[in-house]
Amino acid sequence: MEKLAPAIAPPPDIGTARTQNRAVLDWVQSVARLTQPENIFWCDGSQGENEFLLSEAERQGSVIKLNQERVPRSYLHRSNPNDVARVEQFTFICTPTKEEAGPTNNWSAPAEMYQKLHRLLAGAMRGRTMFVIPYMMGPPDSPLAKIGFEITDSIYVVLSMRIMSRMGEGAVKRLGESTSAEWNRGVHSLLDVNPERRFICHFPQDNAIISVGSGYGGNVLLSKKCLALRIGSYLARKQGWLAEHMLILGVESPEGKKHYVAAAFPSACGKTNFAMLIPPRHFAGWKVTTVGDDIAWMQIRDGRLWAVNPENGYFGVVPGTSYKSNPNAMRAISHDTIYTNVALTDDGDAWWEGKDGNPPPHAIDWRGDDWTPQSKDKAAHPNSRFATPQRNNPVLDSDFDNGAGVPISAIIFGGRRSDTMPLVFQAFDWEHGTYIGSTMASETTAAATGVVGQVRRDPMAMLPFCGYNIGDYFRHWLATGKRLSNPPLIFHVNWFRKGADGRFLWPGFGENMRVLKWIIDRAEGHGGGAETPIGFIPRPEDFDLDELGVSRDTMRELFAIKPEEWQRELEGHAKFFESLGGVVPDELHKQREKLADRLAQH
C-alpha cells in the first residue's frame, strides 16, 4: 500500500547535489513554498543515493525486499487498490483553446486547472520530503534529447525514475545554467491517493506537467506517457519530428544485413514481447535486438526516418510473462527490478499468473492478502508491472544509445482483434498507411481503467497519448510523409485473430518472426505479395511455413478478407471519423472512399 511516509533524514553527503540553473532553482522554491515540505532532497542518480533510498523505502514499508538469491537487488511495491492503472478520464490537456486539445482529449483552460491544482497542492508535502529528480530522455548525444525535472513526494517514483530515465548528473550538466534552455517542469504529489482528487494534467505551452492523487507508474513516472508522448508529441509537431507509442527493434539476417522497424500497438498488446522476440529454430542465424519497447522519437535525415528510444528502462506488464512467452524479459527481470502489484511467495519471490511452473500453494496477493490457488481472485493484478533497466535486456541493440538513431525500414500498426484483420497486410503507400494507422482499433486491456475487451479505435496507438488535436496529428503524419524521399513501408498486423471455436489461430510470440521476415523481404524489394482491396498480403509462396505446424486452412482463415466483416469495419471507420467532429483531413476521408470502392469491386 502507498505509504504517506514522514520526512527522511539523509546523511549530509546525500540529497544535496543542486543544479545551479537559476530557472530550475526558482521553480523548485516556488513549488516548495506551495507544498511546504519538511525538506528538499536533490537526486543525483548515484549508486550511494539509490542504496540509501532503497533502505529508506524498505524501512517505511513502501517496498519489500525480495529473496536476494532468487531475484538479486529486486523489490516489490504495492500501490493502493484504487490506483492500479492509467486514468484516462482524469487526464487533461490544458491549452488556451479547447480546439488545440481536440476531440480526443479532456480539456481545461490552463488558468482554471492551475488554480484547482494549486489548491490541492497547498501544504500537500507538509512534514514530508520533496524529491527533485533531474532526468534526460533520449541518448545524451541525440539532438532530440530532452531534459526534465520531476518533483515528487514518492520515494517509489524516485526509485523507478532512476530505472526508466537517464537520471541525475548527466541531465544537470546537459541543461547547464542558461535560464532560457528548454526543459520540462513536472510536479507530482500523492496527496491522499484519493481517486476524487486524481488529475494528470499537461500544459504543453508551458512544457509543464502536474500529476496528483496517484502513485501508479503510468500516471506518475512523468518521463514516460506525460513527457515522452503527450508533451513530446506537441513538441514534435512544432519542431518537425515524430513522438510515437512504438517499439523499435533490429532484425539481422544470417548474412549480417540489418533492418530496423518501429511498431505501434495499444497498451498491453505485446510490444515488449515483440521487441524481444527470439526467432524460432527454423530461423537459425537470424537475430532480433531491442532498441525500445514502448516509445520512439523519430526525426528525418537524408529523406529517411531515424529513431531513438527516449527511455532507459522497461515498464512492462508482468502477467503472462514466462520463459515460453518472453525468455529475454524473464532474464531481464531476474535482477535489479522493481515489481509493482505482483504476488509475494512464502519464500520471498515474485509470482504472477502465467509464470512458468506451478502456482505456489500459498502467497500474499497484490493487495497484501492471503492467497491460494483456490482463491477466486488473481494473485497478481492483471496490470501489475516490472520496471527494469534496459541494460538488463540480453538482446539490447548495440545502437540503443546512439544519438544518431537507427534508420527505420518499416512501420507496423497492430491491435488485438478477434476478427476482420488478417495476420498482416501492407499499405499501398504512406498516405494509405496513415489511414490504416488513423483507423486502427483494439480490444481494450487492463492497462487503463474501464471495461476490458471492447473494440475501440486507437489511432496509431496514440489515443490516450496525443497531446494536441488529433486532426492536426493526422496532418502532421501526412506532411511528414511528403518530406520523406525514402519512407518506411507501412504494415498492419494482428496476432489475435480467433477461429469459430474461439481459439487463437496464430501461435504468436517467436513465430511472429515469420511475419517480420515477410516485412523485411518487402522492404528489400524482393518479397512477393498479392494485391487485395485492403493492401498487399503475402501469397502462400511468399510466407515461410516450414516447421510451423499451422495448416493451410488455418493460414487461409488468418488471411481471409470477409466482405461482411469489412463492411462493418468501414462503418466503424466512418463512425470514428464522424465522432471526431470535422477535424479529419480530406485525404483520409478520400482514403476511406477509395477503400469502400475497392471493397465494392472485389
The residues of the shown chain that bind Mn ion, judged by CB under 5 A, are 267, 294
188 binds, among ligand OXD, Mn ion, none (CB under 5 to 8 A by kind): none
Nearer to Mn ion, 386 or 559 (CB): 386
Distances (CA, A) of 356 to 324, 335, 364: 8, 17, 18
218 binds, among ligand OXD, Mn ion, none (CB under 5 to 8 A by kind): ligand OXD
Is 250 a binder of ligand OXD (CB under 6 A)? no
What is the CA angle 498-501-507, rounded to 5? Answer: 45
Q: Is 269 a catalytic residue?
A: yes
Nearer to ligand OXD, 35 or 290 (CB): 290
What length does the chain have?
Answer: 602
Contact criterion met (CB below 8 Å) for 445 and 268: yes
Is 447 a binder of ligand OXD (CB under 6 A)? yes
49 binds, among Mn ion, ligand OXD, none (CB under 5 to 8 A by kind): none
Is 384 a binder of ligand OXD (CB under 6 A)? no
Dist. CA 105–CA 465, nearest whole Å: 9
315 binds, among Mn ion, ligand OXD, none (CB under 5 to 8 A by kind): ligand OXD
Among 50, 189, 223, 267, binds ligand OXD (CB under 6 A): 267
Dist. CA 475–CA 232, nearest whole Å: 17
**Nearest by Cα to 219 from 190, 192, 248:** 190
Residue 246: CB minimum distance to Mn ion, A: 9
Nearer to ligand OXD, 86 or 166 (CB): 86
Q: In the block, which residue shows the cell 543542486? A: 18
Q: In the block, which residue shows the cell 530515465? A: 165
Contact criterion met (CB below 8 Å) for 334 and 271: no
Distances (CA, A) of 169 to 162, 281, 388, 391, 459: 12, 44, 20, 19, 37
Residue spans of alpha helices (H) in 462-506: 470-483
3-state helix, strand, coil in the chain (%, to 5): 30, 25, 45
Among 75, 135, 315, 474, binds ligand OXD (CB under 6 A): 315
Nearer to ligand OXD, 190 or 264 (CB): 264
Dist. CA 124–CA 36, nearest whole Å: 7
Q: In the block, which residue shows the cell 526534465? A: 148
Cell of 443: 480490444
Cell of 325: 512467452
Residue 244: CB minimum distance to ligand OXD, A: 12
Nearer to ligand OXD, 162 or 258 (CB): 162
Which of 43, 226, 269, 466 is catalytic? The answer is: 269
Q: In the block, which residue shows the cell 492523487? A: 213
Cell of 167: 537520471
Among 2, 294, 458, 557, binds ligand OXD (CB under 6 A): 294
Nearest residue to ligand OXD, scored by beta-carbon proximity: 267
496 binds, among ligand OXD, Mn ion, none (CB under 5 to 8 A by kind): none
Q: At what angle do helices 586-601 and 470-483 cross, to 10 degrees?
A: 80
Residue 381: CB minimum distance to ligand OXD, A: 13
Is 49 a binder of ligand OXD (CB under 6 A)? no
Could you give the string, one character per residue 59-88, with x where binding to ligand OXD holds by CB under 6 A and - elsewhere?
---------------------------x--
Residue 45: CB minimum distance to ligand OXD, A: 22
Among 139, 186, 213, 218, binds ligand OXD (CB under 6 A): 218
Binding site for ligand OXD (CB under 6 A): 86, 218, 267, 294, 315, 447
Q: Catalytic residues, which ones? A: 269
